[in-house]
Amino acid sequence: MANFMIFDTLDELSFNAAETFIELANEAVDRHGRFVVALSGGSTPRRMFELLAESKNMNRVPWDRTFIFWGDDRAVPPDHEWSNYRMTREALLSRVSIPDANVYRILGERGAEQAALVMQGDMVRVFGEAPLPQFDLVLQGMGSDGHTASLFPGTEALDATGWVVPVINPPANPAVDRVTMTFPLLNNARTALFLVAGKDKQAVMDEILNDPTADERYPAARINAQSTLWYLDKAAFKNAD
């Protein structure tokens, strides 16, 4: 069952998201010795990443036992302005003491199909030959069309049964090829945490909150991890006032 929390501002949302990240990281390390997380791109999580990298928080995350993947990324080099990895590196990874070997970026410069194969191999190295890996946390965003990761409405990736798939010529801006985790993998996570901000998300969020058939139209509504948390700012919530 999904739980929704509404925050007055993006800063308040980001602070609470950072606190949730820290709590889940430490719980995971206490439970099984490591924290495996899939991060998201976009503008909304950047502030959360910056908060995690602040000196007062830096030592609250067991970075040496944290393993980082991405839920999706574009088929571009790691220093490209469209790269989710680049944003995370600038806001977080370059500022904390995480071993390079613990960071599994999507190798977008190799093209979407090859990058998907490498990503699957990276997960096998971390999780072993499990039928389906279980991430401790998958961080999710949502576009104004209701997509999450690179799972866009009406695309073949919605029906994929593997762990990772290439998304060729997606209905996105920019329409560059991508690599994405699939519903089976995302829904197997212990926790999925959505960060949704901005008035342009309001119409879709209203349907997700009030229409039980919204999952037929909006991929984000199909995320159903063991625990699914939605953190919204007031701008994204129609009835906030």
Assigned domain for 234 exists: no
Query: Does a structural domain hold residue 106?
Result: yes
34-55: pLDDT as tens digits = 999 999 998 899 999 999 999 9
pLDDT category at 129 given cuts 50, 70, 90 is confident
In whole angstroms, give the CA distance from residue 169 to residue 154: 13
In a domain, 17, yes or no: yes
pLDDT at position 130 is 85
Encoded tokens for 24: 């889940």
**What token pair was written down for 215?**
């999952």
Check pLDDT > 90 for residue 190: yes
Q: Kindly state the average pLDDT of the residues 98-105.
A: 98
Sheet of 191-196, strands arranged across: 2-7, 227-233, 191-196, 137-140, 35-39, 66-70
CB within 8 A of 164, min separation 6: which ones? Answer: 116, 119, 120, 123, 179, 180, 181, 182, 185
Cα dihedral across residues 133, 74, 82, 193: positive or negative: negative
CATH number, domain of 21, equals 3.40.50.1360
Per-residue pLDDT, 17: 99
Identity of residue 219: P
pLDDT, residue 174, reads 87
Let me know if residue 236 belongs to a domain: no
- The number of folded domains in the chain is 1
- Structural domain contains residue 138: yes
Percentage of the chain modeled with pLDDT above 70:
99
Question: Per-residue pLDDT tens for 191-240?
Answer: 999 999 999 999 999 999 999 999 999 999 999 999 999 999 999 997 64
Residue 231 lies in a domain: no
Residue with tokens 């602070």: 15
Residue 226 domain-assigned (yes or no): no
Domain membership of residue 209 (yes or no) is no
Q: What percent of the chain has pLDDT over 90?
A: 94
φ/ψ (deg, to 5) at 227: -130, 125
Residue 191's domain spans which residues?
2-197
CB 116 within 8 A of CB 166: yes
Please state, in angstroms and as integers, the Cα–Cα distance from residue 92 to each residue in 13, 89, 128, following that order.
Answer: 17, 5, 27
Closest CA to 10 of 59, 43, 58: 43
What is the reported pLDDT for 147?
97
Residues 147 and 149: their CA atoms lie apart, in Å, by 7
pLDDT at residue 1 greater than cutoff 90: no
